[in-house]
Amino acid sequence: MHLIKGNATLLDLKFFADLAHQFEERINEVKRNTQIQASDFIPLVLRLGELKQRLQEVKKIIDRMSSYHQHFQVKKSEESDLLLRSIKNLVQNLAKDLGKEVEFNHSNFQSVSLPYQYRLLVKEILIQFVRNALYHGIEYPQDRIRNKKRPLATITLSTEVSENVYKFTFRDDGRGIQIDKLRQLAITSKKYPQKEIEFWSDDQIAQLIFEPEFTTAEEVSHFAGRGIGLDIIYQKIVKQKGNIKLVFEKGNFCEFEVTIPLKKVRKISRTRSKKSRQITV
């Protein structure tokens, strides 16, 4: 449901995003029940049927469009441009909905070099990064001016491809990781001893964004609030034997560097640096 909602937002299909969001709400209602019964799933079954029906209607439209398009061979460069246009549209749509001003810089992103087998994965990762940046990281124009920053925020996407790995970097010049909020969430979650948390470094606290159900959002919305987005993509990257490196500076930026092996299998590692805000998970 989370991925469906993300893709619906990417395509600006707000109706589908609403359906997926409502489905998530019903799922959480069931999860909160101490004793789950078969009848608890009836609302989910009904909403799932409605969602499938809408998807079938869209599929019929897509099939009709494809019948006209099948005589035209899409070039690889055109497919790559489509990915960037989709992400750019997502940035613009979310920024407009949230009342923020953002420019998308992808001049150093080599989409043509993106391996076909990773195209869907990279798209899902970028959708989550954009939503995370727009909702959690990038400030409102008036707040940026107050902090002596340009009212227009910047999201930068770049790549670095070698023989063995495909690497891309996603960076926003927002507020960075909200360490204080995450530390308080760790304490209230009671998943870890409070005395232990008090001695955690900022790097250790920042790793919590990759844990399920950890979010600094104050309320659940279409954009954030469940703390499952980064957890999902982290698991997908791990499955591909890749890694994510997080670099951040309070008040200035947040950067994700994703590395996916192309030929050789690389060992997943968790390392922390005390001198810098760099985390590899």
* Residue-wise DSSP of 200-221: --HHHHHGGGGSTT----SS--
Whole-number pLDDT of residue 23: 80
Domains observed in the chain: 2-69 (no CATH), 76-280 (3.30.565.10)
Q: What are the CA-CA distances from residue 156 to residues 2, 103, 139, 256 (Å)?
A: 24, 9, 16, 11
Q: How far is CA 233 from the centre of its chain?
A: 7
Whole-number pLDDT of residue 161: 81
Whole-number pLDDT of residue 262: 84
If we measure between CA atoms, which residue out of 225, 203, 202, 199 comes closest to residue 214? 225
Whole-number pLDDT of residue 191: 85
Q: How far is CA 81 from the centre of its chain?
A: 20
Whole-number pLDDT of residue 18: 78
Whole-number pLDDT of residue 67: 64
Whole-number pLDDT of residue 271: 43
Angstrom distance (rounded) from CA 96 to CA 279: 31
User: Could you please report the per-residue DSSP string of the chain?
Assistant: -HHHHHHHHHTT-HHHHHHHHHHHHHHHHHHH-SS--GGGGHHHHHHHHHHHHHHHHHHHHHHHHHHHHTTSPPPHHHHHHHHHHHHHHHHHHHHHHHT--EEEEEEE--GGGS-GGGHHHHHHHHHHHHHHIIIIISPPHHHHHHTTS-SSEEEEEEEEE-SSEEEEEEEE-S----HHHHHHHHHHHTSS-HHHHTT--HHHHHGGGGSTT----SS--SSS-SS-HHHHHHHHHHHTT-EEEEEEETTTEEEEEEEEESSS------EE-SSSSEEE-
pLDDT of the chain along its 281 residues, tens only?
777 777 777 666 777 777 777 787 788 788 888 888 888 888 888 888 887 887 788 778 777 766 655 555 555 555 667 888 889 999 999 999 999 999 999 999 987 778 888 888 999 999 999 999 999 999 999 999 999 999 999 999 999 888 888 999 999 999 999 999 888 888 888 888 888 988 899 999 998 898 876 665 555 555 554 446 788 899 999 999 999 999 999 999 999 999 999 865 444 444 443 334 555 55
Which residue, chain included where needed, has tokens 């980064």?
230
Angstrom distance (rounded) from CA 16 to CA 19: 5
Q: Which long-range contacts (CB under 8 A, 24 or more apart) does 182-189 make?
A: 182/206, 182/208, 182/209, 182/214, 182/216, 185/214, 185/215, 185/216, 186/214, 189/213, 189/214
